[in-house]
Structure 1
Amino acid sequence: MKRLFTTVMASAILATPAVAQTRCAAITPQLAARAVPVIHYKSMAVDGVKVFYREAGPADAPVLLLLHGFPTSSHMFRNLIPLLADRYHVIAPDYPGYGQSDAPDHAQFAYTFAHQADIVDTLVTQLGAKRYAMYVMDYGAPIGFRLALKHPERVSGLIVQNGNAYTEGLQAPFWDPIKVYWGDRSQKNRDALNSLVTLDITKFQYTDGMRDVARISADNWIHDQALLDRPGNRDVQLDMLGDYGSNVPLYPQFQAFFRKYQPPTIIVWGKNDKIFPEAGAPPYLRDLPETEMHILDSGHFALEDRLDVMAPLIRDFLDRKVCK
């Protein structure tokens, strides 16, 4: 049934242009009556650092916090936000060192997952978000799950997209040199990670495993790589890659949170991802047996390839489980 639902919803979205051509007179008044959500681009000082965020939707609506992955920013949600913001108050921050947020020198700023989670926590608290659903992807997963450990009562739901909380999801060869660096922080092992912030790898993350590469705009890796190539940003990224290992000892605590609080959860996972492969998705069912799981024929940044499938799945989930 889930597969059928996915197909039907995707077909409905894809059919819209044809309907507009054949029933323009009937559709036009409806479109005119439906306001297009306005996205605001803002920033806020958090502990002396400018943190950029995208915000859209009614101020009194249920809050949806979108937490991005590496090596991108809230830019990854630019197409999803308008599809949700008519009914949800959407907040999508850029972590320090990413996107339009400040990128302090790594010698003066701790680029750790604990610190990034604290920054996001302060931001959403200052914005008055007392309860929120979270879309977590890649780096966004440990950042979001750290928030959940700090404020479990705030979490109204989880959308998990290629974001790990189980050791089964860290077996891909991509992680081998990073794990070496976790165990030995020598300069040699740090230098071995330099290739992970090059244009080839950034493009690879967007194109590998995608069902239809023609749907992936080159603007993605050009945009991300321009930010990665800023002076000093390579050290920011290597610090974060080195600190990713600090999340693994917290996996049992993340899983304990899942078991105790049972937040409504949907998984939309690109199965061809060579960084966070499909093996990382099924373990969630051990602790969240009511999870709605959708394994998609896509890669790491699945929103670029399968937005037409993912958006209706996410919208339906939020409407049923969060918008109460």
Structure 2
Amino acid sequence: MNAVKRLYVDGTFGQIHVRVASPLGAASRPPLYCLHQSPKSSLEFEDFMKHASSDRIVVSFDYPKYGMSDGPETESEVSIRVYAEAAFQVADTLGHDYIDLFGNHTGGKVAVEMALMRPQAIHAITMISAAIFTQEERKSFEDLFTPIPLDAEGTRHKVNWQRIIERHTDNVSLETLDRSFYMTMMAGEAYEWGHTAAFAYDIPFNEGLKTLDQRITIFNPTDDLTFCTQRATKILKNGEVIEKPEWSHNLLAAFPEDIAKCVREKLDASPV
């Protein structure tokens, strides 16, 4: 497996933290950009990147205010478009003008926005899940991910740890779950900004699935979005939903090699 190296590039709000895995030989496919879920960071892709970089450069980065990236001071300055702009700031700095995308949950919405912003720069899109909500479902998720104020009893930490434990799979270690918790807490008071941005992007996301020419492959694991991801089948202009019931929560840690293989197969099937 290839090593993952880290670097920083300049962005709108300061520095953007980036992870890069490169093939041992010459790259034969467009670079693959990985877009993380909320409220995590590029760290969730590290194992995946080692497997996915056999024939291409694989890049992931922390959205502004997440992981080790600088970010704005107020939530009103954050949006899915801001995350997409950050992705292109990384790509422009690294000299990548034609790329593939792999988004996880919130990252799927970032991928769609990137393709809408610069359609000529995006080859194909893969993503984990598609948050296609009814108004009632969206309200339920917004309530679930309402930020929990800090207190001396550690309520925020206890609730977030309990959510991680409740959603773990048997083949994921406590150390891996701790890493997931660590990613969430790194964002501090901004830890739910990404969910808020994702919920606000419902309509553009649905329209993007209906109108984008790029091939879009959506993998549907067993998780909180299984039921709404299936709705994408009826609206995708060019793509498919692939049921993956054997994948579940913490799937990038539990199945990095399998996911890398599936993503690579679908990207390779789209002519460059």
TM-score range, shorter chain: 0.7 to 0.9
Q: Which residue of 2 aligns with 1:218?
A: 174
Q: Are 2:252 and 2:259, in contact at CA under 8 Å, matched by a contact in 1? A: yes
Q: Deviations over 1:266-294 (max 9, x none)?
A: 322212x12x2333234245324642613
Return the match for 1:65 from 23, 30, 33: 33
How far apart are the structure 2 equivalents of 1:234 and 1:67? 20
Q: Which residue of 2 aligns with 1:270?
A: 221
Q: Normalising to structure 1: TM-score of the pair?
A: 0.70
Instruction: From the superposition, tell whether residues 239 and 80 of structure 1 become closer, same or farther in structure 2 (CA, over 3 Å).
Output: closer
Instruction: Using the TM superposition, give the Cα deviation of residue 52 of structure 1 relative to its aligned residue in structure 2, in angstroms.
Output: 0.7
Instruction: From the superposition, tell whether residues 190 and 90 of structure 1 become closer, same or farther in structure 2 (CA, over 3 Å).
Output: closer
Q: Which residue of 2 aligns with 1:251?
A: 205
How far apart are the structure 2 equivalents of 1:158 and 1:305? 22
Instruction: Using the TM superposition, give the Cα deviation of residue 89 of structure 1 relative to its aligned residue in structure 2, in angstroms.
Output: 1.1
Task: Specify which structure has the higher proportion of helix.
Answer: 1
Which one has a bigger Cα radius of gyration?
A: 1
Q: Which residue of 2 aligns with 1:88?
A: 56
How far apart are the structure 2 equivalents of 1:198 and 1:286? 38
Question: Aligned-residue CA RMSD in angstroms?
Answer: 3.3
Q: Which residue of 2 aligns with 1:18?
A: none
Instruction: From the superposition, tell whether residues 318 and 255 of structure 1 become closer, same or farther in structure 2 (CA, over 3 Å).
Output: closer
Q: Which residue of 1 aligns with 2:43?
A: 75
- Matching of residues 43-122 of structure 1 within 5 Å: 43-58=8-23, 60=27, 61-106=29-74, 110-122=77-89
Matching of residue 301 in structure 1 with residue 250 in structure 2: yes
Q: State percent identity of aligned pairs.
A: 14
Instruction: From the superposition, tell whether residues 316 and 256 of structure 1 become closer, same or farther in structure 2 (CA, over 3 Å).
Output: closer
How far apart are the structure 1 equivalents of 2:218 and 2:136? 17
Instruction: Using the TM superposition, give the Cα deviation of residue 308 of structure 1 relative to its aligned residue in structure 2, in angstroms.
Output: 4.6
Instruction: Using the TM superposition, give the Cα deviation of residue 315 of structure 1 relative to its aligned residue in structure 2, in angstroms.
Output: 2.6
Instruction: From the superposition, tell whether residues 196 and 176 of structure 1 become closer, same or farther in structure 2 (CA, over 3 Å).
Output: farther
Return the match for 1:155 from 100, 118, 122: 122
Q: Which residue of 2 aligns with 1:39?
A: 4
Q: Deviations over 1:232-275 (max 9, x none)?
A: x44313443333332023134313433xx1x223322212x12x
Where does structure 2 lack aligned partners over 5 or more consecutive residues?
none
Q: Are 1:74 and 1:92, in contact at CA under 8 Å, matched by a contact in 2? A: yes
Q: Are 1:67 and 1:135, in contact at CA under 8 Å, matched by a contact in 2? A: yes
Matching of residue 171 in structure 1 with residue 141 in structure 2: no
Q: Normalising to structure 2: TM-score of the pair?
A: 0.82
- Matching of residues 237-248 of structure 1 within 5 Å: 237-248=191-202
Q: Deviations over 1:101-160 (max 9, x none)?
A: 2245337x8232222222222221222211111111111122121111101122211111
Q: Secondary structure at the match of 1:79?
A: helix
Q: Which residue of 1 aligns with 2:111?
A: 144
Instruction: From the superposition, tell whether residues 111 and 221 of structure 1 become closer, same or farther in structure 2 (CA, over 3 Å).
Output: farther
Q: Secondary structure at the match of 1:321?
A: coil
Instruction: From the superposition, tell whether residues 78 and 176 of structure 1 become closer, same or farther in structure 2 (CA, over 3 Å).
Output: closer
Letter of the 2:208 counterpart: F
Q: Are 2:185 and 2:191, in contact at CA under 8 Å, matched by a contact in 1? A: no
Q: Are 1:270 and 1:295, in contact at CA under 8 Å, matched by a contact in 2? A: yes
Matching of residue 320 in structure 1 with residue 269 in structure 2: yes
Q: Are 1:106 and 1:235, in contact at CA under 8 Å, matched by a contact in 2? A: no
Q: Are 1:203 and 1:221, in contact at CA under 8 Å, matched by a contact in 2? A: no
